[in-house]
Amino acid sequence: MTDHDRFNLISIDHHSTRIEGSTLTEVEAQVLINEGRTPNGKPLEESLMVTDHHAALLFTIERAKAKKALSASLLQEINALIMKNTGKVYNTMLGTVDSRTGAFRKGNVTAGISYFPNFDKVEHLTNELVKKLNEAISSPLAVADQLNLSFDAHFNLVSIHPYYDGNGRTSRLLMNYIQAYYNLPLAIVRSENKAAYIQALIDTRQQENIEIFREFMINEYRDLLQKEIEKFEEMKKPSKGHGFTFLF
C-alpha cells in the first residue's frame, strides 16, 4: 500500500468517526494510526473509535479485493470490528444484545425524526438487501451504475438500521466495499457536510426518491476526485529549487 493510499484510508476513518462524534483532527488520526499515539486531552473512547474503524476498513477492502460475496454475516463481522472496543451491552425484553458482536438489534430505534423498521423485520430485510446486491454485482454494470449501486447500498442499510450502534459507519463501509470490489476510488462523506448528509437521508426516505441521496453522494464524490486531480497537478508542476527553501 502506498503512502497516498494509506493517507486516503485514514481520511475515511477520520470523517466517518467525526460524523459519529469523534473530535480527533485528521493529523491526530494519522499519528494515532501510523504511530499508535493517542492525542492528549481527548477521551480514549474517541481514539478507540478511530482505530476500530481502521481495522474494519482494512477488513472490508481485503474482502472486496478477494471478491468475497456479500452476506448478512459479513456485514455483522464489519459491524463487530467497528464496535469492538466501544460497544455496549443492551438488556431488552427479548434478551441481552452485545453490540460488540455485530448482533442484530432486539428493539425498535429512532434517530431524530426517522423511524426504522421493527426489529423483527431486520434480519429478513438485511438478507433481502444482500441478495439484491449480490445479483446486481454479478451482472455487468457501467461505472455510473457501479457507483449508484454503492450509494444505494449505503442508503438502504442505514435505513434498515440493523444494529444498536455503528449503523452509519457500517453502511458507509458497505458502500466502500462495493467501490473496492470494482476498483473505484473510495467515497468519503465529509464530516463538515454532516447536516446535509442527514438531510439527504431524511428527504430520500420521506419522498421515496433515491435520486436525492445519489445526487448528494455524487457531489461528494466529484469534489473528492477534483481534490485528487488538484493534488496530482500540484505534484507535476516544475518547482523552483526543487520546492525547498531553508527557513531560519
The pLDDT value recorded for residue 237 is 74
Cα distances (angstroms) measured from residue 219 to each of 120, 167, 200, 225, 226: 35, 22, 12, 10, 10
Q: 246 or 30: whose pLDDT is higher?
A: 30
The pLDDT value recorded for residue 112 is 79
- Judge whether residue 241 has pLDDT over 60: no
**Strand-pair partners of 184:** none
Any idea where the domains of the chain sit in the sequence? 3-221
Q: 133 or 230: whose pLDDT is higher?
A: 133
Rounded to whole angstroms, how far apart are CA atoms 180 and 5? 12
- Judge whether residue 232 has pLDDT over 90: no
pLDDT band, very low/low/confident/very high, at 126 (cuts 50, 70, 90):
very high
Q: Range with the lowest mean pLDDT among 1-15, 50-64, 143-157?
A: 1-15
**Type and span of the H or E element at 96:** strand 95-98
The total of other beta-carbon atoms located within 10 Å of residue 8's CB is: 17
Q: Range with the lowest mean pLDDT among 1-5, 66-70, 205-209?
A: 1-5
- Percent of the chain having pLDDT more than 90? 83
The total of other beta-carbon atoms located within 10 Å of residue 42's CB is: 15
Provide the grid cell at 111.
434517530
Rounded to whole angstroms, how far apart are CA atoms 204 and 219? 16
- Judge whether residue 240 has pLDDT over 70: no
The pLDDT value recorded for residue 65 is 97
- Judge whether residue 244 has pLDDT over 70: no
CATH number of the domain located at residue range(s) 3-221 in this protein: 1.10.3290.10
Q: Is the four-CA dihedral 132, 142, 215, 174 of positive or negative sign?
A: positive
pTM: 0.93
- Judge whether residue 243 has pLDDT over 70: no
**Strand-pair partners of 95:** 92
The pLDDT value recorded for residue 121 is 97
Orientation angle between helical segments 44-65 and 72-82, nearest 10 degrees: 150
Region 196-201 average pLDDT: 98
Rounded to whole angstroms, how far apart are CA atoms 185 and 229? 12
Region 167-176 average pLDDT: 98
Q: Is the four-CA dihedral 1, 155, 164, 72 of positive or negative sign?
A: negative
